[in-house]
A = this chain, B = another copy of it.
Amino acid sequence: MTTKDIPKKNISNEEIRFTADVHSNLKRNPNFKKLSQDDILYFQSILPSNALTIESDSNQEELMAYNVDWLRIHRGKSKLVVKPKTTAQVSNIVKYCNEKKLAIVPQGGNTGLVGGSTPIFDEIIISTKNLNQIREFDPISSTLICDSGCILEILDDYLAERGHMMPLDIGSKGSCHIGGNVATNAGGVRYVRYGSLHGTILGLEVVLPDGTILDNLSTLRKDNTGYDIKQLFIGSEGTLGIITGVSILASRRHKAISVAVLGLNSFENVQNAFITSKEMLTEILSAFEFWDDKSLKMVKTHLDQSAKFPLDEYPFYALIETGGSNKDHDEEKLSEFLETVMEKGIVKNGIIAQDNTQMKSLWSIREGIPDAGMKAGSAYFYDISIPIPVMYKIVEDVISKLKNAGLYGKPVIDVHGFGHVGDGNLHMSIITESYSPKIINLVESCINEWTEKYKGSLSAEHGIGLMKSKILENSKPKVMVDIMRKMKYIFDPNGIMNPYKFFPYQKYEELKV
C-alpha cells in the first residue's frame, strides 16, 4: 500500500515530456481575462498571505509543482495558486473569477492521470489543500462529513480509530484528496466489494461557477425528494463546480483481513479463479487483482521488491483480499477456496500471507506497477473497461501489432497488463525509450478497435481530463454528449471552470441551450 507524493521540487524542463504535442491543437480562449495586478490585490484582500502563491523569481519551483501533473506530461503556465481554508473563501474567489472571466482549474492532490488537475495556459489554480477539516462522524449511521481537501489515507486512519474504513482505496491514497476522488469518480482496488461512489456519496457541498454555495451535505442514506443533482458532480472533474465538502457512507472496518497470492498459467484461469472466488468467498471478497509476469519483473527491477515475492515464475498472478468479522471463518473459507482451485488445476500455486508485513509486501507489488513503469522509461498508462473474457487479449494484440511494425523491443521496451479483474478494468502500460506519436497512434487505434467491438470504455476510472477529451464524442451516443454540453452550459455559461478539459475548447460556443 504505497503512497505517491506529488512532485514538489526539482522538476526540470527536460523531465516534462510532451506538453507541446498534447497542447498543440489548443488555443487560449481569448474570452478569458488575463490576470492583472488588480486581481492579485483583490485576492490578497480576501485571503491571508500564506494562502497565495504568486509568481516571483524565487518561487518558480513551488509554482511548477502545481503546474505539472503526476505523469509529467502536462505543464500549465499558471501564475497564481490560491489555497482557501473555508467554503466561503472558495465562494468569494469563484464569484470574482466568474465576474471577471478569469479561468480556474480546481486541484486536489494532483495525482490524476489524464491531465485534468493542472492548468493548460494561465488558469488560476484553486487548491483544496487547506480545506482539510473532518467535520463530523456518526458511528451509528456510519456517516462521515469532511472538507474536500482531506487526504484519503488520513480519513481512513481517522475512521480506523472508530472501527470504520473508507469505502474506497487507491494507490495514491497518501496524497490524493477526497474531493478529487469524488470529482474523478475514483474506483480503486476494493471497488469489487464497496462499489461506486455514486452509491456511497450521501451528500456534497459544491461552489458553483457563479460562486453560489450548493449545500447538500446530507447524511441520509435514503432521500427521494427530487432529482439527485449531486450525482452530476461525481465524475465531472471540476467542470461544473468545486467540491468543498463531502458526506460519505463509511464501512465497518474488518476485524480480520487475509491476503492470498496465486500463480496461474493463463488469463483464462485468472478468470476461472475469479468466478470461483465469487462463489466461495462471496461476502468476504474485498479485492481480486491481477498482473502479468512482465509487470512483476519490472517491479523487481525498478523497485526494491525482489526478495519479497514468495512465488516462482508464472505467466499470471492474482491477489485476493478478504475481509470479515471472524478470522477463523475467513481463513477456513480462503483455505477451502485455495484447495478447490489447486485441485481443479485452475491455480498452479498459491500462498496466504502469514502476517501484516507480508500482506503489505504483496500489495506493494500490485500497487508498485505504475511507479516501476515511470522508472523503466517513458510510460503511458491505459485504463480500459472491457468484458473480463477478452481483457488480456488486448495486451496480446497490442504486442503483436507492435512486433509486426518492428517497434517491439526497441523503441517500445515492454507492454504490461494488470488491473482489477472483478471490475473488468484492465490497466496497460507501454514503456518506451522516448515519446513517439507513431507508437501511441498504433496502440490507441488497437485499443479503440477492442473497446468499440466489445462496448468497452476508454476510461474506466481515470476520467477524461485533457488527455482523453478527444474520445468523449465517440464514447457515448450523440444524444448523451449533447445533454452533457447542455449541463455544462447551464452550470457554467462563461466556461471558466476547468476549461479545455472534457469538451474540446473549440466547440464551447455550441454549448448554448
Q: Residues on A close to B: CB < 8 A? A: 138-142, 163, 184-185, 187, 191, 195-196, 198-200, 208, 212, 214-216, 218-229, 231-232, 234-236, 240, 249, 252, 254, 271, 274-275, 278-284, 323-326, 329, 332-333, 385, 387-389, 420, 422-425, 455-464, 468, 471-472, 475-477, 479-481, 483-484, 486-487, 490-491, 502, 513
Contacts and interface: CB of A to CB of B under 8 A. Distances in A.
Contact of A225 (B281, B333, B458): B458
Contacts of A139: 275
A140 B199 contact: no
Contacts of A220: 385, 424, 455-457, 460
B214 A480 contact: yes
A481 B254 CA distance: 40
A271 to B, nearest CB: 7
A464 B278 CA distance: 38
Given A222-B191, A224-B461, A283-B284, A480 B229 contact: yes
Contact of A226 (B142, B252, B456, B464): B464
Contact of A457 (B224, B468, B486, B502): B224
Contact of A228 (B141, B234, B456): B234
A480 B216 contact: yes
B329 A325 contact: no
A225 B140 contact: no
B424 A225 contact: no
Given A196-B199, A198-B199, A325 B282 contact: yes
A252 B279 contact: yes
A68 to B, nearest CB: 22
A208 B483 CA distance: 11
A126 B98 CA distance: 44
A456 B326 CA distance: 35
A190 B286 CA distance: 20
Given A252-B282, A271-B140, A490-B486, A227 B216 contact: no
A280 B389 CA distance: 37
Given A199-B195, A275-B140, A388-B140, A187 B222 contact: yes
Contacts of A480: 214, 216, 226, 229
Given A229-B480, A325-B282, A487-B227, A221 B502 contact: no
